[in-house]
Amino acid sequence: MKCLCFVVLLAILIAQNSSDLGVKSASSDGFVSRKGVQFILNGKPFYANGLNAYWLAYEATDPTTRFKITYVFQNATIHDLTIVRTWGFRDGGYRALQIAPGVYDEKTFQGLDFAIAEAKRLGIKMIITFVNNYSDFGGRKQYVDWAKNTGQNVSLDDDFYTNPLVKQYYKNHVKTMVNRVNTFTKVAYKDEPTIMGWELMNEPQCRADPSGKTLTAWMNEMALYVKSVDSKHLLSTGLEGFYGDSSPQRKTSLNPVAANVLGTDFIANHKLDAIDFASIHSYPDLWFPNLDEKSRLNFLRKWLECHLEDAQNILKKPLILGEFGKPTNTPGYTQAQRDAVFNATFDTIYESAEKGGPAAGALFWHVISDGMNNFKDPLSIVLSENSTTVNIITEESRKLGLIRGKGKLSKTKI
């Protein structure tokens, strides 16, 4: 009963004070930029761990559930998590952001407005993704279906990358997003320093062209377009990090076999001039279900180390581990196994950051607020539960954050 009363009271307070959001901007507020392999914030190297909360706009669409966003952000700051990655899309379906090409639901857009305003108020940076590779929440499939309904000769999801009308739909969405004026802060997204950067897509793939050329061409076109309408923010790909034909040795030694038909190329995709930082994800349990726990942990370390080496020596750009986690439905799962994954991940990121290397932080997948059973899954974490994993998250994030105060700028030039 006490918990329910708190929830109701918090919702009321948020509703009463929503017009003030954004007025009390965090003192650390400024645009995150890049210098060589490091992010820079207010003249100093910027390192930070964070989390994924893809559901922010969905829950914030209803003013009575916006307290969940506030609660998660407050818990994030308590645990020194200062980057939040979320979706800037929901194409078609219930509570859609984009109902049809170029047609938006104002209530849902105000939900995203609220999430950005709350992040601003609490000193959190956001990475926002423009579209999904998968059909969840619409994604590429919805764009292709929209084009098909107009009579376009499209049938495959991968037509998303080549059909002129579909590409224009995407550009229109990007333009709408960056020009959106937040109804709470009154600041256009393209002028909002709370937004650390954009991602072209969540885990882009193109099975129609395993060589990677189609996806690289699309990324180059869209990255240049994003920069033409928003020159202030950083941009990345949203890739999982699978290697392609430009790195045959890495492709053979690191990629899961199933990844070799996905048409991605970690090096070629991130060498594009308009891409500011590298993106990778890490899910050894999903990629190698038949390996034992020790082997998967060894792969995790090698996966991170090799990508960091390539970010330093080849790309000469910062790298963010955009997703990682340990699913509780893994056969033989124990809490100690999840702790080991988080320790190994954070340790590898810290070792690079401490030397002024390209590792900027790690964002675990994913956080939910108390009682959010509709978004609970084997990877979800509730920060207020203070599990051993949460304790590791807190300790490692505080340690990484300390580098910001004493860090030296890398000598690597852009």
Digit-coded pLDDT (tens) for 32-87:
999 999 999 999 999 999 999 999 999 999 999 999 999 999 999 999 999 999 99
CB 39 within 8 A of CB 125: no
Q: Which residue has the tokens 């909002």?
A: 192
Helix, strand, or coil (residue 243): coil
Residues forming beta bridges with residue 86, ordered by sequence position: 128
Amino acid 103 reads V
The pLDDT score that the predictor gives to residue 29 is 75
Q: Which residues of the chain have pLDDT under 70?
A: 1-28, 405-414
- Cα-flanking dihedrals φ and ψ of residue 138, to 5°? 100, -80
The pLDDT score that the predictor gives to residue 359 is 98
Amino acid 331 reads P
Rg (CA), the chain: 20
Number of Cα atoms under 13 Å in the Cβ half of residue 102: 8
The pLDDT score that the predictor gives to residue 410 is 47
Distance CA 368, CA 374 (A): 10
Distance CA 266, CA 274 (A): 15
CB 296 within 8 A of CB 288: yes
Distance CA 340, CA 348 (A): 12
DSSP symbol at 182: P
The pLDDT score that the predictor gives to residue 28 is 54
Catalytic residues: 203, 323
End-to-end CA distance of the chain: 56
Identify whether 233 is preceded by a cis peptide bond (ω within 30 of 0): no
The pLDDT score that the predictor gives to residue 38 is 96
